[in-house]
Structure 1
Amino acid sequence: MLRKSSILLSVAAASVLLVTGCSSDTGTDDATPSSLEITRPSPTMDGGVCPDNDPPAGTQPQWQIDGATGSLAVAGSTATAGPMIKVTAPLTVDETTVKTLAPGTGQEITDDSAVNVCYEGVNGRDGQAFDSSYQRGKPVRLRPDSVVPGFRKALLGQRVGASVAVVMTPADGYPQGTPDGSIKSGDSIVFVLKIMAAERDASDAS
């Protein structure tokens, strides 16, 4: 699958996509925080680059998994290229699985973190990308408690600098699908992401 031929959402649609369908066990509602105060603001939180080049030919997968149907092979992004995500469609899974492709060494991610993330999302039904910050060239800033449950599971406990892959059940993604129809009810989806930076919510500062 070539990333440059992926079907992408607009920036606005992508923002809605990531915060749709929060799980009921997080104790939060579905509303996106209208603003987020960041302690110790730094240039890193406002910058960072998601490389938009395709991975080189011959890139070897760092993780392979067989689903209930189909299969998945992924490799994380590098300093010069985005991730490799190869799906044998239709890929469906009965259990959400998170794989750390490369550990991070920075701050640990919690629900109180504001995180800069480079990511690409692929639909298991057809193997097509539906959203990619790598295509946009810069990270998205978000909170783990304001994204879909499977994405939250991929973030929590990781450290800044980590590359992570997650393949998630429909229940941990978008159980009713998305308004634009790019994800349908019953679709298992894949995200491969890199945590670029993180800061704590100012409300938790002592």
Structure 2
Amino acid sequence: MVDYVDPELVLAECPYCEHAVLAREIGALGKPEHVNNWKWAWRYVLARCTECSGPLLLAHDAPWDRLESIWPNPHGRELSNSIPEALRREHSEARACLKAKAYTAVAVMVRRTLEGVCADQGVTRRQPLVASLRELHQQGRIEGRLLEWAEALRVLGNQGAHYTGVQVSREDATDALALAEALLDYMYVFTSQYEAFKARRSQPRSAPGTE
């Protein structure tokens, strides 16, 4: 006896359920057969998770042996290349820990990311992390609210790195990852973007009608 398999059901990874599920195909768009200028075949599938009813956009390439969720992005947004590769790598490992539900490891990896930021900015000099963060603040590289965030992440990282009998919660791990990402964006993306904006605005401009 062969079990009936619904042809509209596909196996996919649901970012909402955080595990592999069956998703029901709602619609699909594939490469038209008469189009020959594409060197590869492709197919996009709009589906609904049968566990939580969440919407999914899936994609796979020929020979249709791999189906990947592309929205919502299960890996989070890509960090800017303006952020040093070593720091992006630390943050990526923190994301992987969150996906694996290793929340204590997330806190530790976020703390490592903070240490990496201080090292990249040249303010470590064998001093405690708290002193390095405050030195960044004194130098005007991070503002008061960002210092407050960073010190909260440092404390959470200490909780993860040392046995205290208190577990790091999923909510704290998720927030820590988001705050660390915001700190990286501020330090390496928005600050340089604002400086470029100021430099561009300071350039002499021609009066209207003289160009």
Does the TM-score normalized on the shorter chain lie above 0.5?
Answer: no
TM-score with structure 2 length normalisation?
A: 0.20
- Which of the pair has the greater relative contact order for Cα pairs under 8 Å at 6+ separation? 1
Larger Cα Rg: Structure 1 or Structure 2?
A: 2
Which has a greater percent of strand? 1
Task: Name the structure where helix makes up a greater proportion of residues.
Answer: 2
